[in-house]
Amino acid sequence: MVNISKQFPGVKALDGVTLRVRPGTVHALCGENGAGKSTLMKCLFGIYHPDEGEIYLEGKKVQFQTARQALDNGVSMVHQELNLVRQRNIMDNIWLGRYPQNGLMIDEKKMYEDTKKIFDELEIDLDPREKVSKLSVSQMQMIEIAKAVSYNSKIIVMDEPTSSLTEKEVAHLFRIIRALKKKGVGIIYISHKMDEILEISEDVTVMRDGKWIATELASNLTIDQIINMMVGRDLTHRFPTKDNVIGDVILKVNNLTAKRQPSIKDVSFELRKGEILGVAGLVGSRRTDIVEALFGIRELETGEIYVNGKQVKNENPREAIKNGFALVTEERRSTGIFGMLDIKFNSTIANIDSYTKFGVVDNKRCTEDTKWVIDSMRVKTPSQKTLINTLSGGNQQKVIIGRWLLTEPDILMLDEPTRGIDVGAKFEIYQLIIDLAKKGKSIIMISSEMPELLGITDRIAVMSNGRLSGIVETKKTNQEEIMRLAAKFL
């Protein structure tokens, strides 16, 4: 890709960017949210058309008009936001738009066998006939990767492929990547996890503010050097200083058991005012089910919830919001944003009742509050009227957090709040979480990243197979103890 430029109304997303990928290598593409990484890849993949610049594939100039053209020419992409049809089964999703035919009929047998063959090659242990809606986020991620491999691609773009994978699953993915490299596939690897980049990549390109900054051999770089190029400054501390003061118990949860199994069983804990309580556990440990149960999404069979000593029944999210709860969900695209609507709508929707009088919405207050979200969350956007799905993942996440803060919750629940977010923006979100705790907000934070939990929480509740296997004080614990608790009921 040579001198690629792309302009959107009010913003130059790409400014003369060049990227060269060698066959049989992993080329890491690094940069903060809003640096232009995803825009550059969408130009490659035919989703966007560059205003300037040229693209060459195996020495031949190409200009894909559609994503289908890119796929047919050996360029595939594993998107950061999952794009599966949840009401169909796995093999339908992999062969969507190119079903094998037996005369006029779809050849289900061949489709099953072809899917099984790919799964065997990639060591994916799933039934191709399983409905996608029953899969975990990490399993869906592996399906996306298998789909990209099924095109026999020369170039595979992987945008944050490990954002919802466990360490074991990451090791599995890296085995797949090494096998693809042996076949001569070039892989463009977008990630904010610096240790992964240095482990799996041969080349590293850094972008900042839509511009190319540098391309270096991974073997010549350190994590600090990459971060320095990404943010344009030294980032000496990964986590802010913790100075929140913990007060009295605000939330008491007794014997929470969800109706639909498998889910949480007999979960009890307390949360104090100004406390950051982390929730750890392996994929499938039902961490998310806790916050869904508290927020009225998941129906309870037994259990009691007390806020400030008073029992509450959050039978639906509206009740939960009235009782001072807010939830930032794990999957931005499907359960977080209204993608085809603007930042203003996405910022104010959870608090819409407070802006409405006699059926009329106070537009001035909506505008003022949206400005607060953009300014306080440091959202990079041309205007309030910008569609939220045109923002980077990190900027979308900042809007969602700002949305819930407008409801003035006492208890803020964050499910993987920094998933797919760069190191600079992560630091800002960590600081935001600590500042909220200092103001007396109580935080429940689910995370798959152990350093993150150890870096900013006060205590960590560890889940294993739907049960609470222990609660530890962050200052007195380590990764080994947390992993032992995470495996307790397996």
What residue segments make up the domains of the chain, in order of their start?
Answer: 2-231, 249-486
* Single pTM value for the model: 0.63
Is pLDDT above 60 for 78? Answer: yes
Can you tell me the distance from the alpha carbon of 330 to that of 129, in angstroms, rounded to the nearest whole number?
26
If DSSP codes are grouped into helix, strand and coil, which group holds residue 283?
coil
Query: Burial, 63: exposed, middle or buried (Cβ in 10 Å; 0-12, 13-18, 19+)?
Result: exposed
Q: What is the pLDDT of residue 352?
A: 87
DSSP string, 115-181: HHHHHHHHT----TTSBGGGS-HHHHHHHHHHHHHTTT-SEEEEESTTTT--HHHHHHHHHHHHHHH
Quick count: other Cβ atoms within 10 Å of Cβ 409? 21
Query: What band does 10 get if pLDDT is binned at 50, 70 and 90?
Result: low
Helices (H), 271-416: 287-294, 317-322, 332-335, 343-348, 352-355, 363-376, 393-405
Is pLDDT above 80 for 220? Answer: yes
Q: What is the mean pLDDT of residues 217-233?
A: 84
Query: What band does 276 get if pLDDT is binned at 50, 70 and 90?
Result: very high
Query: What band does 194 get if pLDDT is binned at 50, 70 and 90?
Result: confident
**2-231 and 249-486: same fold?**
yes
Is pLDDT above 90 for 353? Answer: no
Q: What is the pLDDT of residue 357?
A: 87
Quick count: other Cβ atoms within 10 Å of Cβ 192? 26
| Fold observed for domain 2-231 | Rossmann fold (3.40.50)
Crossing angle of helices 223-231 and 423-438, in 10° steps, is 80
Residue for token digits 């610049």? 53
Q: What is the mean pLDDT of residues 16-24?
A: 96
Distances (CA, A) of 465 to 50, 260, 264, 338, 475: 48, 14, 8, 32, 25
Token pair, residue 183, equals: 């076949």
Q: Are strands 11-17 and 26-30 parallel, antiparallel or unpaired?
A: unpaired
Q: Taking all residues of the chain, what is their mean pLDDT, rounded to a whole number?
A: 89
Tens digits of residue pLDDT in 234-244: 555 678 889 89
Distances (CA, A) of 82 to 137, 271, 302, 330: 8, 33, 33, 12
Query: What band does 129 get if pLDDT is binned at 50, 70 and 90?
Result: very high
Q: What is the pLDDT of residue 484?
A: 87
Q: Does domain 249-486 have CATH number 3.40.50.300?
A: yes
Tens digits of residue pLDDT in 418-449: 876 766 778 888 988 999 999 999 999 999 88
Tens digits of residue pLDDT in 290-338: 999 999 999 999 999 999 999 999 999 999 999 999 999 887 777 888 9
Can you tell me the distance from the alpha carbon of 193 to that of 186, in angstroms, rounded to the nearest whole number?
20
Token pair, residue 373, equals: 């979200």
Query: What band does 73 get if pLDDT is binned at 50, 70 and 90?
Result: very high
Q: What is the pLDDT of residue 164?
A: 67
